[in-house]
Amino acid sequence: MWIAMRHKSGGGRRPKKKIYHRVHELDRVMELQKKPSLILRLKSIIQSQKSQSLLLRDLEKQVGFVQKWNFMAAIERYPAIFHVGGGNRAPPFVSLTEKAQKIASQEAEASMLMEPILVKNLRKLLMMSVDCRVPLAKIELIGSELGLPNDFETSLIPKYPEYFSVKDINGKACLLLENWDSSLAVTAREIKLAHEGVLDTARYQRKVRISKDGNFQGPYAFRVSFPVGFRPNMSYLEEFERWQKMEFPSPYLNARRFEIADPKARKRVVAVLHELLSLTMEKRMTSAQLDAFHAEYFLPSKLLLCLIRHHGIFYITNKGFVLFLWLLWEHFICHGGSCDHYLEVVLIRGSGVLYGFNKYSYGGLVMIFLIPLLKWHFSVVGQYNKFLAFH
């Protein structure tokens, strides 16, 4: 990705262009996710039908004329997942194979195990908003990223009236937070630092040597991972260290209390984006999904520029048809105490049908997710190809 920047030039020299350094492993993951995403979408369409099958003539109505041919190619290529029936004057249809149905049926059990975490994350999402409310349409927009069931408005929200309520505000159905829980007003970054014992401010007042990778051990620091091609000089590292040391208000404090021109408030915006992505299953959103929450979280008008400026924390890629934003470091290694629960739903909802593992397969995807992304990426693709080849 090239970011054109104007520079003053002399002597007839052409202005230089600043390069947005890519993380090729993440770009490669996005490219390889196109096919699994297509298969999972078709799986969801089939499961949404009352007969658990879809007439091939109706496929165009669901996905459009152009995409229909990609789906038809997937149906033909993966007979281990999709079964085509019909004939003898019966219209042809597609359904899931018996093995695919068996694996997909475990999604309900995995979702039930995940429900307490989903409820907690939904409460945190509302607590960060300026009015402790978010339109239901916007929650539906990122529902799959949060791990919410498609019918969460009827299956999940009514079960917890002590936490949530739905009200019509200015003609929009909004999800409201019913009570504030201070114990939840702690970010994923703070939880990780507390686990590492890094929240003691007195320990980090003395001068320390600047780390070449930009990481600084302090209570207000963010974990960064610069791309391989990015080599910061000493002046950049000194300025970045001052930014890492600078304190800032919690993302769970109301954004109306701060002036956006204040450097501390601008750093708080980075923390808000960091926390939003931390609440998602795969630590990522599309740029369109993030743009939808400008009003609820007082995000900057030049959001893309803000993300580019902090490229060691976030990563933007245009691979995979849409512009994706990743929480860079956290996607390389799965941290935290809720990893097993998170992986159960990823395994079933994200990859279960494709790879043929169930949530107890600790020798398969679960262990792979706990190692760096590069190894995870190639391991998963290898397992995926083995499964398809075997069947």
> Does residue 311 share a domain with residue 270?
yes
Asked if the structure places residue 17 within a domain, the reply is no
Q: What is the pLDDT of residue 353?
A: 32
> Does residue 252 share a domain with residue 195?
yes
- Based on C-alpha coordinates, what's the Rg of the chain? 23
Residue 314, pLDDT above cutoff 70: yes
> Does residue 203 share a domain with residue 322?
yes
Q: What is the pLDDT of residue 338?
A: 36
> Does residue 356 share a domain with residue 259?
no
Asked if the structure places residue 18 within a domain, the reply is no
Q: What is the mean pLDDT of residues 60-80?
A: 91
Residue 200, pLDDT above cutoff 90: no
Residue 367, pLDDT above cutoff 90: no
Q: What is the pLDDT of residue 328?
A: 55
User: What is the distance in angstroms between the CA of the first residue and the CA of the last residue of the chain?
Assistant: 39
> Does residue 244 share a domain with residue 177?
no
Highest average pLDDT, of 98-107, 187-196, 373-382, comes from 187-196
> Does residue 198 share a domain with residue 133?
no
pLDDT, one tens digit per residue, over 94-115 is 999 998 888 888 777 777 888 9
> Does residue 313 share a domain with residue 243?
yes
Q: What is the mean pLDDT of residues 373-382?
A: 33
Asked if the structure places residue 228 within a domain, the reply is yes
| Band of pLDDT at residue 45, cut at 50, 70 and 90 | very high
Residue 175, pLDDT above cutoff 50: yes
> Does residue 89 share a domain with residue 119?
no
pLDDT, one tens digit per residue, over 254-289 is 999 999 889 999 999 999 999 998 898 878 888 888
Nearest Cα neighbor of 287 from 275, 270, 304, 300 is 304
Q: What is the mean pLDDT of residues 38-64?
A: 91
Asked if the structure places residue 277 within a domain, the reply is yes
CATH of the domain at 56: 1.10.10
Q: What secondary structure, in 3-state letters, does the chain show?
A: CEECCCCCCCCCCCCCCEECCCCHHHHHHHHHCHHHHHHHHHHHHHHHCCCCEEEHHHHHHHHCHHHHHHHHHHHHHCCCCEEEEEECCEEEEEEECHHHHHHHCCHHHHHHHHHHHHHHHHHHHHHHCCCCEEEHHHHHHCHHHHCCCCCHHHHCHHHCCCCEEEEEECCEEEEEECCCCHHHCCCHHHHHHHHHCCCCHHHHCCCCCCCCCCCCCCCCCCCCCCCCCCCCCHHHHHHHHHHHHCCCCCCCCCHHHCCCCCHHHHHHHHHHHHHHHHCCCCCEEEHHHHHCCHHHHCCCCCHHHHHHHCCCCEEEECCCCCCEEEEHHHHHCCCCCCHHHHHHHHHHHHHHHHHCCCCCCHHHHHHHHCCCHHHHHHHHHHHHHHHHHHC
Highest average pLDDT, of 167-171, 225-229, 235-239, comes from 167-171
Please check whether residue 157 is in contact with residue 178, taking contact to mean a CB–CB distance below 8 angstroms.
no
| Band of pLDDT at residue 19, cut at 50, 70 and 90 | low
Domain boundary, last residue among 49, 76, 104: 104
Percent of the chain with pLDDT over 90: 38
What does the block give as tokens for 165?
Answer: 């309520």
> Does residue 324 share a domain with residue 198?
yes
Domain boundary, last residue among 136, 162, 181: 181
Asked if the structure places residue 22 within a domain, the reply is no
| Band of pLDDT at residue 93, cut at 50, 70 and 90 | very high
Q: What is the pLDDT of residue 71?
A: 93
What does the block give as tokens for 233?
Answer: 């000089």
What is the dihedral angle through the alpha carbons of 125, 127, 128, 130, rounded to the nearest 10 degrees?
Answer: 120
Give the torsion sign (CA, 239, 225, 199, 296).
positive
Q: What is the pLDDT of residue 368?
A: 23
Q: What is the pLDDT of residue 103?
A: 81
Domain boundary, last residue among 328, 359, 378: 328
Give the total number of structural domains in the chain: 4
250: CB partners within 8 A, 6+ apart? 185, 187, 268, 271
Residue environment code for 192-224, b if the CB has 16+ CB neighbours within 10 A, otherwise e: ebeeeebeeeeebeeeeebeeebbbebbbbbbb
> Does residue 68 share a domain with residue 122?
no
> Does residue 318 share a domain with residue 196?
yes
Residue 366, pLDDT above cutoff 90: no
Asked if the structure places residue 211 within a domain, the reply is yes
Q: Which domain holds residue 380?
A: 339-390
Asked if the structure places residue 19 within a domain, the reply is no
> Does residue 85 share a domain with residue 193?
no
pLDDT, one tens digit per residue, over 124-149 is 999 999 999 999 999 999 998 898 88
Asked if the structure places residue 90 within a domain, the reply is yes
